[in-house]
Amino acid sequence: MISSKWAKLIKSLHLKKYRKAEQLFFVEGEKAVLEVLASGWQVRALFATDAFIQQHAQAVNTVSLLQQCSSEELIKVGTFNSNDAALAVVEIPHWPLFSTSPASWTLVLDNINDPGNLGTIIRIADWYGIQQILCSPDTADCYNPKVIAAAKGSFLRVQLHYLPLAEALAHANMPVYGAYLGGDNVHQLKLGKAGGYIVLGNEANGISSDVGHYISRKITIPAFGGAESLNVGIAAAVICDNLRRLSQQH
């Protein structure tokens, strides 16, 4: 069973202030927990059903603290409506300071509030080989359980850096593309050297004016129907796909 001490800690990790104070977060579900166990990240404790332990005996042997528990206990302390596998308490990694190379793409998120959107964008970045995301300090916390669930393990491979964006972009030595409702058609862009920053704005208000000051090229996804806008995660996928394709033609 999950001890009362650990149950209390896990429940506290639902909130950002306790994740920050403890430098811990948690991962739920069979696939995501197995990815964490294989990643080399520091797993402080693992809580798992007997079936999960029996099926993945070699993987769980790497954890110093393993507690067998029921699926009901996992559901009670976590966020999933069903979890018959495992929950891992993981140490928050300390990434190197942000730096980029001329041929790389970096996503820049200006006040993305919704954890589901952030998790989706992390997964999209991973799919397109984008290894770093710059986030404004008011963007959702990347270790929010909803972000971790939506990212589907991609949080292990994409580094997120929370920095004042205007200050970071002021020193940019590559193109800064900003997603706007009005701008150059992303399907028809002619790129110079491959690489740059891709800025996505807040779900309701778009890119803020202080960040917009450093946009070197406004881009847009052309609409062929009557929808007012696209979800920011969908927009990220369309833009990343087009910029990757176009940069490979360079």
Query: Rounded to the nearest 5 degrees, what angle is found at the Cα of 123, between the Cα atoms of 119 and 126?
Result: 140
Are residues 38 and 128 both part of a single domain?
no
pLDDT value for 250:
53
Are residues 200 and 116 both part of a single domain?
yes
Rounded CA gap, 168 and 211, in Å? 10
Last residue within a domain, chosen from 91, 115, 145: 91
Are residues 74 and 165 both part of a single domain?
no
Q: pTM of the entire structure?
A: 0.94
Are residues 126 and 35 both part of a single domain?
no
Domain coverage including residue 30: 4-91
Question: How many CB atoms are closer than 10 A to CB 28?
Answer: 22
Give the count of domains, the chain: 2
Q: Which helix (H) or strand (E) holds 241?
A: helix 232-249
Last residue within a domain, chosen from 56, 91, 126: 91
Q: Is 60 helix (H, G, I), strand (E, B) or coil?
A: helix
pLDDT tens digits along 183-194: 999 998 887 667
Are residues 242 and 138 both part of a single domain?
yes
Count, residues in the chain: 250
pLDDT tens digits along 48-82: 999 999 999 999 998 999 999 999 999 999 999 99
